[in-house]
C-alpha cells in the first residue's frame, strides 16, 4: 500500500529553488534512502514532509488523503536535533510522548523501553545539556519513535557519529525496518546500500533516480574480477581484452580489473589461463562494482 | 544615623535580598557557561544588592 | 486540551528550573515593602541628611495609606514592567532560535495551543507576583501608616492587572516573529512608555487608552472611588488583548 505520495513538490527561497518538481512515492513497509550531495535539498524535502515548511508548490498525500494533518503518524529526527537542556532524558521523552497523544503512563513506559533500546538508559536521569553529540543523536531517534509512528523520517541519522556509533545506528535501523516504514537522508551511498530497499537520488533539488536497490543493481552493477600480481601484467591484460566474455579491462600498476559478462565462466577461463601462463598472481577477487559509480555520475553531472 | 531603625521591620527586606543572592549563587555554581566571565557575575551578585541577582537572572544566564 | 495542559506544565517546570517562580514574585514583594518603609522613614532621613540649624522644625506631611499604595503601583508600573518584559521577552523567540519550536510542532500539536499555553503561564506568574507585591505593600502600609480597606487593594490591583496582561500579550506577540529578544523588550517598553506619556499629555483624546487603567487604579487607591474614564479603556484593552493574542496564536508562517 502507498503510505506517502509526493507530486511535483517545489520549494523556493526567493529566487533560489531548493526543491524542484519532485515526485515520488513511498510504499508501506519499505526502507527508503533519500540520497544527495550537500545542498541537494534533502533537509528541505524532509521538512516539507514533516509539515515544518510549506511547499511553494505541489502536493503531499498520506495514505491517499491529500492535505491532512498526518503528524501523529510520523516520527522525525532533524539533522541537528535540539532539546531542552534543563530536562533529563526521561522528562523529555515523556513530554514528547504526551504531545504525540500518549497517556502519561504509556509515555513513561515507552520512554524507558526506548532508552534501553538506544543504549542511553544509564544517563536517563542526567540533564540533556551535558549529553555528548552521539547521545543526543540517540535521544533524537528515541523521541521520533516514542509514539510508534507509521513513518519514521531521519535526516542524516549517522553523519555525526563515530564508526562504532554509526554501526550501531545502522543495525538499529535494520531492526526498525521490520516494523516501520523508514525514509532517511544521507549523502553516503554505502549506508543507503546497507539498509535500504529503495533509493531516491536528488541532485540540485531535482529528482535524478528513483528505483529499488535490486533494480539499480541489476541495471547498473557489473561483475568484476580483480587480479593482483607481483609484476606488471599490462601485456597480458591487453591480450584478454578482446575475449568476448570480457567487457572492459582496467590495468593499473600491478592490479587488473576485469569487467565480465558471466562470472562463473570467466572465472574458470581466467584461472586456467593463469596456471598455464604461470602468472605470479598474489590475489584473485570475484565481486561486483558498487553503486558509487552511478552516484558519482548523477551527482557529478 | 542617629535614629532608631526598627530592625524587625526591615528584616524581611534583608531576607529577600539574601534569598535572591543565594539562588543566584547557587545557580552560578551549577551552570557551566554564563554570558561573560563567571567570576564577574559572582562579584556582581554579591556586591550589587537586589539588582545584581536580577541582572544575572535576566542577562547572565546563557540560554542554549 | 490535554496537550495544552502538557505544554502549560512544561512552562511551569521550566520557570521552576530557572527560578523565575521564585525571583519574579520576590522582586515584586521587595518593591512592595520598600515603598511604605521609605515613606515611613522619609522625615527622619531628611532630617538627618540636611544640615539644618539646631531647633528648626521641618514639616513633612506623612502620606496617607492610599497615597503610599498608589506610589507602590507607580513603582510596579516602571521597574515592575521592566522586569516582566525582560523576563518574558524570549518566551517564543528563544525557542524558535534554538530549533525547539520545530521539535515541538513536528508533533501533532496546534500552534495556538503552544502559544496560549506559554501566554497563560506568563500571565499567571505575573498576576501572582503583582498580587503578592501589593499584598506585602498593603500589610506594611497598615502596620506603619494607617488602616486601609483590603477590598480596595483587590479591586485596584485587578484593574491594574488588565493593563499588565495587555503588555504581556504584546510581548508574546512580538516574540512570535521578531528574531531578537532584545527588540521584543525594546518595542514593548516603547509601547508602554508611549501610551503612558500620551495618555497623560492628551487626556481628552486618550480616554480609550489602556494606560488609563493605571490611573483608574491609582485614583481608586487614593480616594477610594473610581474617577475618570473606566468603561472605555477597559473595553478597548480587553478587545486589543484578545486581538493581539489571536494574531500571535495564528501566525504560524513565521516558523
Ligand atoms: N531557509 C532557507 N533560506 C534560503 N535558502 C535555503 C533555506 N534552507 C535551505 N536553503 C537552500 O536550499 C538548498 C538545499 O538545502 P538543504 O538544507 O535542503 O540541503 P541538504 O541536501 O539537506 O544539504 P546537507 O547535506 O548539507 O544537509 C541549499 O542550497 C540551501 O542553501
Ligand atoms: Mg540537510
Checking if the pLDDT of C181 tops 80, the result is yes
Is C159 within 8 Å of C216 (Cβ atoms)? yes
- CB nearest B57 (choices: C23, C44, C144): C23
State the pLDDT confidence band at C40, using cuts at 50, 70 and 90.
confident
For residues C106-130, give the mean pLDDT: 96
How far apart (Å, rounded) are the C-alpha atoms in residues A193 and A188? 9
Burial category of A214 from C-beta neighbours within 10 Å (exposed 0-12, middle 13-18, buried 19 and up): exposed
Beta bridge pairs of residue C44: none
State the pLDDT confidence band at A64, using cuts at 50, 70 and 90.
confident
Is A199 within 8 Å of A294 (Cβ atoms)? no
Closest C-alpha residue for ligand 1 atom 16: A41
pLDDT tens for each residue of A191-215 = 888 899 999 999 998 998 888 888 8
Closest C-alpha residue for ligand 1 atom 10: A18
Whether the predicted model's global pTM rises above the 0.95 cut? no
pLDDT tens for each residue of A87-118 = 999 999 999 999 999 999 999 999 999 999 99
Checking if the pLDDT of C117 tops 90, the result is yes
pLDDT tens for each residue of A240-250 = 888 888 888 88
How far apart (Å, rounded) are the C-alpha atoms in residues A242 and C255? 62
What's the per-residue H, E or C state across A270-297? Answer: HHHHHHHHCCCEEEEEEEECCCHHHHHH
- From A15, A40, A76, give the residue whose CB has the most ligand 1 atoms within 8 Å, as the site to mutate: A40
Pick the closest to residue C118 from C104, C108, C129 (CA basis): C104
State the pLDDT confidence band at C52, using cuts at 50, 70 and 90.
low
How far apart (Å, rounded) are the C-alpha atoms in residues B40 and A15? 48
State residue A157's pLDDT score. Answer: 93
How far apart (Å, rounded) are the C-alpha atoms in residues B57 and A23? 50
- CB nearest A82 (choices: C7, C13, C98): C98
Sheet containing strand A223-229, strands side by side: A246-252, A255-260, A223-229, A281-288
For residues A258-285, give the mean pLDDT: 86
Closest C-alpha residue for ligand 1 atom 11: A18
Set of cell numbers at residue A50: 514533516
ipTM of the complex: 0.88
Query: Of all residues in chain C, what percent carry a pLDDT higher than 90?
Result: 68
> Which residue, among C10, C106, C112, would best test binding to A if mutated, counting the most A CBs under 10 Å from its CB?
C106
Checking if the pLDDT of A287 tops 90, the result is no
A127: left (phi over 0), alpha (psi -120 to 50) or beta: beta
Distance separating the N- and C-terminal Cα atoms of chain C? 22
pLDDT tens for each residue of C226-235 = 877 788 989 9
How far apart (Å, rounded) are the C-alpha atoms in residues C66 and C94? 41
Write down the domain spans for chain A.
2-207, 221-299
Set of cell numbers at residue C16: 521552576
CATH of domain A2-207: 3.40.50.300
Superfamily classification of domain A221-299: YebC, transcriptional regulation domain (3.30.70.980)
Q: What is the DSSP letter of A212?
A: E
Is A296 within 8 Å of A37 (Cβ atoms)? no
State residue C254's pLDDT score. Answer: 47
How far apart (Å, rounded) are the C-alpha atoms in residues C166 and C250? 18
Mind listing the pLDDT tens digit of every residue in chain B (64 residues)? 456 677 778 888 999 999 999 999 999 988 878 888 888 999 999 998 888 999 999 888 776 4
Higher pLDDT, C26 or C45: C26
Is A238 within 8 Å of A215 (Cβ atoms)? no
State residue C248's pLDDT score. Answer: 93
Query: Of all residues in chain A, what percent carry a pLDDT higher than 90?
Result: 55
pLDDT tens for each residue of A116-139 = 999 999 999 999 998 998 999 999
Q: For chain A, what is the mean pLDDT? A: 89
Q: Which atom of ligand 1 is nearest to the CA of A47?
A: 18
Amino acid at each position: 500500500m502507498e503510505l506517502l505520495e509526493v507530486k511535483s513538490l517545489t520549494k523556493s527561497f526567493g529566487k533560489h529553488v531548493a526543491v524542484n518538481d519532485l515526485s515520488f512515492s513511498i510504499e508501506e513497509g519499505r526502507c527508503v534512502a533519500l540520497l544527495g550531495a550537500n545542498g541537494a535539498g534533502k533537509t528541505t524535502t524532509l521538512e516539507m514532509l514533516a509539515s515544518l515548511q510549506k511547499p511553494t508548490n505541489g502536493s503531499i498525500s498520506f495514505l491517499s488523503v491529500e492535505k491532512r494533518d498526518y503528524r501523529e503518524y510520523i516520527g522525525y529526527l532533524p539533522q541537528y536535533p535540539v532539546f531542552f537542556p534543563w530536562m533529563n532524558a526521561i522528562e523529555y521523552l515523556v513530554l514528547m510522548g504526551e504531545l504525540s497523544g500518549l497517556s502519561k503512563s504509556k509515555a513513561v513506559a515507552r520512554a524507558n523501553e526506548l532508552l534501553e533500546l538506544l543504549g542511553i538508559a544509564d544517563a536517563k536521569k542526567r540533564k540533556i545539556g551535558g549529553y555528548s553529540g552521539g547521545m543526543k543523536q540517540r535521544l533524537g531517534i528515541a523521541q521520533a519513535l516514542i509514539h510508534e509512528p507509521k513513518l519514521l523520517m531521519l535526516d542524516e541519522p549517522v553523519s555525526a557519529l563515530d564508526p562504532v556509533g554509526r554501526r550501531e545506528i545502522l543495525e538499529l535501523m535494520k531492526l526498525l525496518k521490520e516494523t516501520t516504514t523508514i525514509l532517511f537522508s544521507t549523502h553516503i551511498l554505502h549506508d543507503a546500500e546497507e539498509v535500504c530497499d529503495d533509493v531516491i537520488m536528488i541532485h540540485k533539488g531535482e529528482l535524478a533516480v528513483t528505483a529499488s536497490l535490486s533494480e539499480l543493481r541489476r541495471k547498473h552493477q557489473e561483475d568484476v574480477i580483480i587480479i593482483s600480481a607481483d609484476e606488471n601484467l599490462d601485456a597480458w591484460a591487453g591480450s584478454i581484452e578482446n575475449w568476448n566474455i570480457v567487457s572492459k579491462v582496467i590495468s593499473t600498476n600491478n592490479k587488473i580489473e576485469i569487467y565480465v559478462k558471466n562470472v562463473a565462466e570467466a572465472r574458470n577461463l581466467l584461472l586456467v589461463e593463469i596456471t598455464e601462463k604461470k602468472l605470479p598472481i598474489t590475489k584473485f577477487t570475484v565481486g561486483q562494482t558498487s553503486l558509487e559509480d552511478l552516484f558519482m555520475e548523477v551527482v557529478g553531472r | 544615623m542617629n535614629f532608631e531603625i526598627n530592625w524587625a521591620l526591615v528584616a524581611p527586606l534583608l531576607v529577600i535580598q539574601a534569598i535572591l543572592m543565594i539562588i543566584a549563587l547557587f545557580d552560578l555554581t551549577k551552570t557551566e557557561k554564563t554570558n561573560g566571565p563567571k567570576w564577574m557575575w559572582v562579584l556582581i551578585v554579591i556586591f550589587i544588592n537586589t539588582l545584581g541577582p536580577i541582572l544575572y537572572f535576566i542577562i547572565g544566564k546563557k540560554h542554549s | 486540551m490535554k496537550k495544552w495542559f502538557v505544554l502549560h506544565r512544561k512552562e511551569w517546570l521550566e520557570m521552576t528550573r530557572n527560578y523565575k517562580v521564585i525571583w519574579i514574585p520576590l522582586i515584586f514583594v521587595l518593591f512592595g515593602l520598600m515603598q511604605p518603609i521609605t515613606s515611613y522613614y522619609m522625615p527622619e532621613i531628611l532630617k538627618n541628611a540636611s544640615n539644618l540649624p539646631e531647633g528648626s522644625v521641618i514639616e513633612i506631611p506623612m502620606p496617607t495609606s492610599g497615597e503610599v499604595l498608589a506610589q507602590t503601583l507607580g513603582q510596579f508600573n516602571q521597574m515592575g514592567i521592566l522586569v516582566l518584559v525582560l523576563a518574558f521577552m524570549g518566551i517564543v523567540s528563544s525557542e524558535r532560535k534554538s530549533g525547539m519550536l520545530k521539535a515541538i510542532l513536528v508533533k501533532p500539536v496546534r500552534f495556538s495551543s503552544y502559544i496560549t499555553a506559554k501566554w497563560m503561564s506568563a500571565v499567571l506568574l505575573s498576576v501572582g507576583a503583582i498580587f503578592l507585591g501589593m499584598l506585602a505593600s498593603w500589610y506594611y502600609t497598615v502596620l506603619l501608616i494607617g488602616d486601609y480597606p483590603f477590598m480596595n487593594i483587590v479591586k485596584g490591583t485587578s484593574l491594574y492587572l488588565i493593563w499588565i496582561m495587555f503588555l504581556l500579550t504584546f510581548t508574546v506577540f512580538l516574540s512570535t516573529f521578531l528574531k531578537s529578544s532584545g527588540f521584543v523588550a525594546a518595542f514593548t517598553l516603547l509601547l508602554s512608555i508611549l501610551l503612558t506619556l500620551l495618555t497623560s499629555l492628551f487626556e481628552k483624546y486618550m480616554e480609550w487608552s489602556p494606560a488609563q487603567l493605571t490611573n483608574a487604579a491609582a485614583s481608586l487607591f487614593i480616594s477610594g472611588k473610581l474617577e475618570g474614564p473606566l468603561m472605555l479603556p477597559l473595553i478597548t484593552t480587553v478587545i486589543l488583548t484578545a486581538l493581539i493574542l489571536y494574531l500571535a496564536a495564528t501566525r504560524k508562517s513565521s516558523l
